[in-house]
Amino acid sequence: MVLPATMAELWTTVGSTVASFMFIMAIIRQYCPYEIQRLLEKLTHQITSFFYPYIGISIHEFSGDRLKRSDFYANVEAYLSSNTAKSAKRLKAEVGKDCSNIVLSMDEFERVTDEYRGAKVWWVLTKTAAPPRPLSMSYYPEQERRFYKLSFHKRYRETVTESYLGHVMKEGKEIRVKNRQRKLYTNSPGYKWPSYKQTMWSHIVFEHPATFETMALEGKKKREIIEDLMTFSKSKEFYERIGKAWKRGYLLYGPPGTGKSTMIAAMANLLSYDVYDLELTAVKDNTELRKLLIETTSKSMIVIEDIDCSLDLTGQRKKKGEKFSKEDKKMNDDEFSNKERKEAKEEGSNGNHGSSKVTLSGLLNFIDGLWSACGGERLIVFTTNYVEKLDPALIRRGRMDKHIELSYCTFEGFKVLGKNYLGIESHQMFDKIENLMGEVKITPADVAENLMPKSPMDDPERCLSNLIRALEEAKEETAAVEGAAEEAKRSAEEENEIEPTKEEAVSL
């Protein structure tokens, strides 16, 4: 046999062999019966795989059920963008964390190499057309299926399957956590997802600056909440051991303007979690609620604000505008000022009035049914102004594990705000403020508003004077309201004394 002398000759030989093979196969395909064709194809495949020494592993973006993006795929993506993007020639550029950096990753059909403990491997990002979908999946728009293909020589089989893949998974996960741009998701109809999107959630970058440090809250309470959250985030093994899904429910309740929404942001910032702001009134039914749940990721908080406005005690839906019924107003008369009620009413009337068939039992299942365990490491947070109106089943321990009351501003809380807003920790006016705060109720939101400098002329003295004026006005208002109530009570008693009872009237 004559050996080819140069590379050029070698390529010519290989080329002509392949061409001859293809020609023979084409003739067979044309003239042989189908059974023989299949047999030959099978034979060819077996021969090639016997001689072809490479193994291929595919990692698909969506698993069989296509409901959730594969974590493994996302980890591979992160690993490759950090480790091999330098060697790729065609790259995809995306804006990274805090919009301050650019993340480069390999583009479709690009091939990159990687080395691990002496084993050389190749990665290619490939895509195929999606097969026709079953009717039940018609909810999701059709999409191409993307997958990474890993190839390596069969002698590295053990290294790759037993060690390299685990290494990619672990490193990719770490990179994702580090590079993660935290997101604020919404299911609100105002942000209806475009048809090319698969997810039911729309998102923006989560950039709320609130922290526990800036919150007006007593130190002891603050420390207790922080400790609770930190313990939860480190308790993966504990939850596994006791056989409980790794999630925790928080119920934040209190009057408007006491920091419930602010605390949600502080919690998310403390734990570096994403926030899913669930607008229950925009959810069509229990099935849609479950779909939304499945699409949430771990390391996240699912928030339902004003839960009392979304469901009533019997599980019937209630519109947001009904937040302040006549009965509610009466019931809460002493608790809230007119201003707060007006604000809340306005907020309620702006709410979503869409019809929805989500039931109380659907919501209970959402919180701790079988599906709630998927993903892990999740907080479910409810907020309400009226804790007493909620169904006990909804907020029992186990569902809402921790109940946190956020109330009117204390002097300790005021000092935090004074430091944040004015940069002062003490002042001669503080004593007066402390006395007034002992006499009247004022929300942290109102304190904050008064301490906010409104012009360059507003120095700390002026802001503190504003607060004192507001406290004095509130004191007068409270005194006037109490006086009027006292007067009404007295006149009602007098009327009762004068008017004969029914029995007296009959005997007369």
Ligand X SMILES: Nc1ncnc2c1ncn2[C@@H]1O[C@H](COP(=O)(O)OP(=O)(O)OP(=O)(O)O)[C@@H](O)[C@H]1O
Which has the closest alpha carbon to 203: 276, 293, 273?
A: 276
Which has the closest alpha carbon to 307: 367, 248, 267?
A: 367
Nearest distance, CB of residue 418 and ligand X, angstroms? 11
Within 118-137, which residues bind ligand X (CB under 6 A)?
A: none
Q: Which of 103, 175, 217, 283 binds ligand X (CB under 6 A)?
A: 217
Q: Which does 216 bind (CB under 5 to 8 A by kind): ligand X, Mg ion, none?
A: ligand X
Query: DSSP string covering 302-358, please?
Result: EEETTGGGTB-TTS-B--GGGGG-HHHHHHTTTTS-HHHHHHHHHHHHTS-------
Q: Which does 395 bind (CB under 5 to 8 A by kind): ligand X, Mg ion, none?
A: none
First to last CA, the chain: 137
Return the range that interacts with ligand X (CB under 6 A); candidates 22-30, 76-84, 291-299, 442-450. Answer: 442-450
Ramachandran region, residue 494 (left: φ > 0; alpha: ψ -120 to 50; beta: rest): alpha
Distance between CA 21 and CA 30 in Å, rounded?
Answer: 14
Nearest distance, CB of residue 356 and ligand X, angstroms? 21
Nearest distance, CB of residue 306 and ligand X, angstroms? 7
Q: Convert residues 445-464 into a mask of x (bound to ligand X by CB under 6 A) and - (unbound).
A: x--x----------------
Tell me whether residue 261 or residue 332 sits nearer to ligand X (CB atom).
Answer: 261
Return the range that interacts with ligand X (CB under 6 A); candidates 111-119, 353-361, 372-380, 443-451. Answer: 443-451
Phi, then psi, of 119 in degrees rounded to 5: -90, 130
CB contact set of 308 (below 8 Å; sequence gap of 6+): 323, 384, 385, 386, 389, 390
Distance between CA 398 and CA 383 in Å, rounded?
Answer: 17
| Closest-approach residue to ligand X (CB) | 259
Half-sphere exposure of 348 (CA within 13 A, CB side): 22
Tell me whether residue 400 or residue 448 sits nearer to ligand X (CB atom).
Answer: 448
Nearest distance, CB of residue 252 and Mg ion, angstroms? 9
Cβ–Cβ under 8 Å, residues 277 and 185:
yes
Tell me whether residue 80 or residue 381 sits nearer to Mg ion (CB atom).
Answer: 381
Within 257-286, which residues bind ligand X (CB under 6 A)?
A: 257-262
Tell me whether residue 364 or residue 448 sits nearer to ligand X (CB atom).
Answer: 448
Q: Which does 215 bind (CB under 5 to 8 A by kind): Mg ion, ligand X, none?
A: ligand X
Question: Which positions touch ligand X (CB under 6 A)?
Answer: 215-217, 256-262, 385, 444-445, 448
